[in-house]
Structure 1
Amino acid sequence: MPKDATSRDPALLRLADAVILPGFPGREPPDWVRRRLAEGLAGVVLFSRNIGDPEQTARLTAALRAERPDVIIGIDEESGEVTRLEAATGSSRPGNYALGVVDDVALTEELARDLGRALAEIGVTIDFAPAADVNSNPDNPVIGLRSFGADARLVARHTAAWIRGLQSAGVAACAKHFPGHGDTNVDSHLGVPLVSGSREELAEVELLPFRAAIEEGVAAIMTGHLVVTAYDEAYPATLSPKILGDLLRHELRFDGPVITDGIEMAAVADRYGIPGAAMRAIAAGADGICVGGEHDDERIVEEIRQTIAGAVAEGVLPEQRLAEAAERMRRLAAWPATARPAADAGKPAVELPEGVPIGLHVARRAIRITRRDPAALPLAAPPHVIEMTPQLSLASDRHTPWGVGEPLGRLLPGTTVARFAERDGQVPGAAELDAALAEAAGRPLVIVARYADRHRWLAEAIDRLLAARPDAIVVEMGLPGRTDRGAVHIATHGSARVCGQAAAEVLAGLAP
């Protein structure tokens, strides 16, 4: 902290407070969060560590609102693989990729409206979603199922529908990760992704969904920590005036608040430190700083606050720029009061089967089946299920349940499950796979995987299992790839809880 921090201009410190959105530990607001909200902190970001049941979360947000009635309460709730609301159980709504496969914009809008109602009921004011990235690189380690697909026009129309649905329920949407994280092969949690397309290529692909989001009236846009060489070879978008100013503000004419992705992510923090990256983001044109996914204490908030105020005092950051950012965040805080939820927001805009939640309905419609042996379904007896997953991006909670074995066990009692997960590069060996195979002797075998075509060890493990049991059924719960594996191949296009349930219904012969 600077030596003269205690004598910093209180007005500058209040402006700095007005652009910070921190996380915090626990399911009740710490004293420091309460105090800082009362003093002008913009708001907070909720993570799965803060969330129990809806009643608890509503009490939490009410306590925050008691300190500042217009507090911004954000959450990173995409549904599907990135869920904070249902991290403990798995999401009751599929993610974007399943929606893109179904390709029914009315259904996408309705699912987002359903999510918006759930968020509004617990006091959330902004959802850092949808991901408007076009997943044009199949080796992308962080987007994948979070995208609506690889076709820019499909992504654009579903991005608009998702925003329309969420905001009709009174919750602000925040399209991300500008200007598009889809054509990368580096996870920005861990390094600096590079997008090397020309401006013409970016206009036709990456930028198309963001244009649609802006036209739809999206409340906010979240930056991506990626270098886009066509606009700025030196700085990631979050820190680039050329991208946040020239491109987003002037060319795309977006005048709403721009919020950073987690500022502690390696793509920006490794070079500048967390406080330094936060200050540079504000200077580049961002308005709100998200922090707290990994650093959730008061110390980091104070360091960011002092660094931003200090940069103004030293003439590095224009005070007008900080004041502009603070004003945009005040407008975001006022958004719920000025937004007018649709009068019919409580009524489904699409016809659903009686008694079927929209998330399960979408998951069922997203299932795709390739049959090589028509007699393999339905299963003739309770099977043995082998589930395998790679190590996922930090965007997903690795403890969130997934798979087919658990829901299948409810439908076919006697089902057994063996689970294997990559951990820090360690993957199951031949002996472990052979032991799991032995448990399936005399019974049907179901092999379940996520992203099998992206990870060599997974593809080889499936091949080993199928060499011994060509009658096995393969269920892919990541991005679709080869469909010629197994007697039957089932693609769920997501690993949310409802995706596993939908696959289990197919296996048990109970699909509607």
Structure 2
Amino acid sequence: MSSTDLASVGDHFIVGLRPTTSLDPRDRALLRDLRPAGVILYKSNFCHDLPYEAWLANHAKLISAVREETGRERLFIAIDHEGGRVCRTPAPITRYDYARSWGEDAGAVGAAMGAELASLGVNLSFAPVLDIDSNPKNPVIGARSFDTTVEGVVAKALAFARQMEAEGVRACGKHFPGHGDTQVDSHLELPVIDATLDALRRRELLPFAAAVDASFGMIMTSHILFKAIDPEWPATLSRKITHGLLREELGFEGVIVSDDVGMRAVSRLFDNPEMAVNFMAAGNDMLMICAHWADTERARLLAERLIEARRSGALASRDLDRSRARVAAMLRATPQNAVSPLSEDVFRRHAEVGALFSDETAEVI
């Protein structure tokens, strides 16, 4: 299949780069052929052993190469930047503590994070976490959540998102319809939740409903099986959850993106290219595949299957066009930030905004 064909579905993909600080030849080829609407950066894409000026110059070259190879005028340059261990960037980018520690400073932290990320050319952060920290045995959410109550999550997460977006970095609420009550890590295995739909409506869905009302442009789904709603498919692939709950019940008209489909909760499912068809048919818009858990070359097979499904009628062209239009609309409204240095004074002020974190960061989460 030609690169022209692959690029016809590039709007439906966000890809992670391989763990290099300059663009790997295989990434160059994939970006050139698929022309994905976005890329996501990880810790290994930054030079952590160089002074700020040096690593920023190298980073600028990387971002320039990504833009050149995709040939897109508008592109999502994304990152996970939540605070705590979920931080990819080297010093002097401010290392804030987990969201739980910010309290009433959540908005100010969002503004500082937004300014710093925008200076890296980033225009999309997969934050805030809209999950409620309701299960003390949860191994992956915990203090990443803004609060243990609906009211706390809504007030702080929305203040954070509003201020971050004011600095030119789009927010993405996650992990729909709620990851706070799980007891296993979806990076490692598939969590299963028995909660009824009524129970979700009373708690987990409320922060997402608030995000929809606040005009969030993007929401990320979770790799969780909600047995009482859809005993067959995890939320990522469930039309009952993605279309039924998020689109129809909550009225979300923006972009729905998956969590990384290389994560072990769903990775084996996506060994089958047919899952790309199921994913789009469920009402999603953008499939994210990163290099940490999987080979991003898998994106080629998934894209080819989408093209075949469109040609055969297995996927309605009308639905794909609507999905593409949602992605295009968000891209039009998303700043295309240039890489530029910030002064020591800016970083000094930012360090006083909220609680800081000093432990090691994580490659993923």
What's the TM-score once normalised by structure 1's chain length? 0.62
SS in 2 for 1:286: coil
The answer on 1:15 being equivalent to 2:5 is no
1:97 matched residue in structure 2: 100
Counterpart selection for 2:238 from 237, 240, 246: 240
Counterpart code for 1:49 = S
Counterpart selection for 1:119 from 92, 117, 120: 117
Counterpart code for 1:15 = S
Q: Distance in 2 between matches of 1:190 and 1:96?
A: 23
Question: Aligned pair in 2 of structure 1 residues 232, 64: CA closer, same or farther (>3 Å)?
Answer: same
Q: Say whether the 8 Å CA contact 1:142–1:393 is kept in structure 2.
A: no
Q: Distance in 1 between matches of 2:83 and 2:265?
A: 25
1:29 matched residue in structure 2: 23
Q: Distance in 2 between matches of 1:33 and 1:9?
A: 14
Q: Distance in 2 between matches of 1:275 and 1:166?
A: 36
Give the 5 Å matches for 1:75-154: 75-86=79-90, 92-99=95-102, 103-104=103-104, 107-154=105-152
Give the 5 Å matches for 1:11-410: 13-25=6-18, 26-34=20-28, 36-38=30-32, 40-52=35-47, 53-66=55-68, 67-86=71-90, 92-99=95-102, 103-104=103-104, 107-273=105-271, 275-294=273-292, 297=295, 299-337=297-335, 357-363=349-355, 395-396=364-365
Task: Give deviations 1:139-163, integer Å, cap 9, x for gaps.
Answer: 0011112111211110111111111
Q: Distance in 2 between matches of 1:199 and 1:71?
A: 36
SS in 1 for 2:267: helix
Q: Say whether the 8 Å CA contact 2:12–2:36 is kept in structure 1.
A: yes
Question: Aligned pair in 2 of structure 1 residues 290, 263: CA closer, same or farther (>3 Å)?
Answer: same
Q: CA RMSD in A?
A: 3.0
Q: Say whether the 8 Å CA contact 1:44–1:73 is kept in structure 2.
A: yes
Question: Aligned pair in 2 of structure 1 residues 394, 93: CA closer, same or farther (>3 Å)?
Answer: closer
Counterpart code for 2:75 = V
Bigger mean CA offset, 22-31 vs 293-302:
293-302
Q: Distance in 1 between matches of 2:347 and 2:287?
A: 41
Q: Say whether the 8 Å CA contact 1:135–1:144 is kept in structure 2.
A: yes
1:509 matched residue in structure 2: none
Displacement of 1:136: 0.3
Question: Aligned pair in 2 of structure 1 residues 394, 355: CA closer, same or farther (>3 Å)?
Answer: closer
- Give the structure with higher Rg (CA): 1
Displacement of 1:286: 1.1
SS in 2 for 1:362: coil
Q: Distance in 1 between matches of 2:225 and 2:294?
A: 27
Q: Say whether the 8 Å CA contact 1:180–1:206 is kept in structure 2.
A: yes
Displacement of 1:59: 2.8
Q: Distance in 2 between matches of 1:43 and 1:169?
A: 19
Counterpart code for 1:19 = H
Question: Aligned pair in 2 of structure 1 residues 108, 123: CA closer, same or farther (>3 Å)?
Answer: same
Task: Give deviations 1:216-255, integer Å, cap 9, x for gaps.
Answer: 2212000101122343222111101111111111111111
Q: Distance in 2 between matches of 1:47 and 1:108?
A: 24
Q: Distance in 2 between matches of 1:111 and 1:43?
A: 25
Displacement of 1:331: 2.1
Give the 5 Å matches for 1:426-441: none
Displacement of 1:60: 1.8
Task: Give deviations 1:443-484, integer Å, cap 9, x for gaps.
Answer: xxxxxxxxxxxxxxxxxxxxxxxxxxxxxxxxxxxxxxxxxx
Give 5+ residue unaligned stretches, structure 2: 48-54
Q: Say whether the 8 Å CA contact 2:289–2:296 is kept in structure 1.
A: no
Q: Distance in 2 between matches of 1:167 and 1:328?
A: 18
What's the TM-score once normalised by structure 2's chain length? 0.85
Count of residue correspondences: 346
Q: Distance in 2 between matches of 1:29 and 1:327?
A: 29
Q: Distance in 2 between matches of 1:192 and 1:82?
A: 21
Question: Aligned pair in 2 of structure 1 residues 331, 264: CA closer, same or farther (>3 Å)?
Answer: same
Bigger mean CA offset, 110-119 vs 61-70:
61-70
Displacement of 1:319: 2.8
Q: Distance in 1 between matches of 2:297 and 2:112?
A: 37
Task: Give deviations 1:277-319, integer Å, cap 9, x for gaps.
Answer: 3332222111111111425655222122112223333443333
- Kindly, what percent of the aligned residue pairs are identical? 32
- Structure number with greater CO (CA < 8 Å, separation at least 6) is 2
Q: Distance in 2 between matches of 1:33 and 1:166?
A: 29
Displacement of 1:362: 2.3
Q: Distance in 1 between matches of 2:112 and 2:78?
A: 17
Task: Give deviations 1:304-355, integer Å, cap 9, x for gaps.
Answer: 211222333344333333332222222232222499xxxxxx9xxxxxxx99
Q: Distance in 2 between matches of 1:225 and 1:315?
A: 27
2:52 matched residue in structure 1: none
SS in 2 for 1:187: coil
Counterpart code for 2:354 = V
Q: Say whether the 8 Å CA contact 1:269–1:277 is kept in structure 2.
A: no
Counterpart code for 1:83 = C
Give 5+ residue unaligned stretches, structure 1: 1-5, 340-345, 347-353, 367-386, 397-512
Task: Give deviations 1:149-198, integer Å, cap 9, x for gaps.
Answer: 21111011111111101111111110000011000101111221122222
Q: Distance in 2 between matches of 1:184 and 1:71?
A: 33
Q: Say whether the 8 Å CA contact 1:15–1:322 is kept in structure 2.
A: no
SS in 2 for 1:177: strand
Q: Distance in 2 between matches of 1:218 and 1:309?
A: 29
Question: Aligned pair in 2 of structure 1 residues 152, 298: CA closer, same or farther (>3 Å)?
Answer: closer
Question: Aligned pair in 2 of structure 1 residues 215, 221: CA closer, same or farther (>3 Å)?
Answer: same
